[in-house]
């Protein structure tokens, strides 16, 4: 009986460890695509007709840029202070929302 309990324990431990090894971020991770900012924006404009729509600064001093095309494709870049731009995410079906309490207009 003790051997069965030990095997179950180690089996459960192995399953838990496998969950830690394959987190959602790793499962969804894509190959990192990086280039100098000017080169990246040129590709987005010429190949995808994407233009910058929004900018933000993150807590680490990186610039977050949102690009979209009139057809709905979009790309999010993170740009380091050194000018290196990396793709964070891409997709289709961009929708622009206006907050209900928008006081900027």
Find, among 89, 99, 39, the residue nearest to 68 by Cα.
89
0.85 surpassed by pTM: no
* pLDDT tens for each residue of 52-101: 999 999 999 999 999 999 999 999 999 999 999 999 999 998 888 888 87
Q: What is the pLDDT of residues 25-55, one digit of tens each?
A: 443 445 689 999 999 999 999 999 999 999 9
Residue-range domain boundaries for the chain: 30-94
Count the Cβ atoms, other than its own, within 10 Å of residue 20: 7
């Amino acid at each position: 009986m003790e051997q069965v309990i030990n095997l179950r324990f180690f089996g459960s431990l192995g399953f838990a460890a496998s969950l830690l090894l394959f987190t959602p971020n790793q499962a969804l991770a894509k190959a990192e695509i990086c280039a100098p900012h000017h080169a990246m924006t040129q590709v987005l404009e010429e190949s995808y007709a994407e233009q910058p729509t929004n900018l933000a600064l993150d807590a680490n001093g990186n610039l977050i840029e949102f690009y979209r095309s009139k057809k709905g494709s979009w790309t999010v870049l993170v740009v380091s202070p050194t000018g290196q731009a990396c793709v964070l995410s891409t997709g289709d079906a961009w929708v622009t929302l206006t907050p209900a309490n928008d006081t900027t207009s």
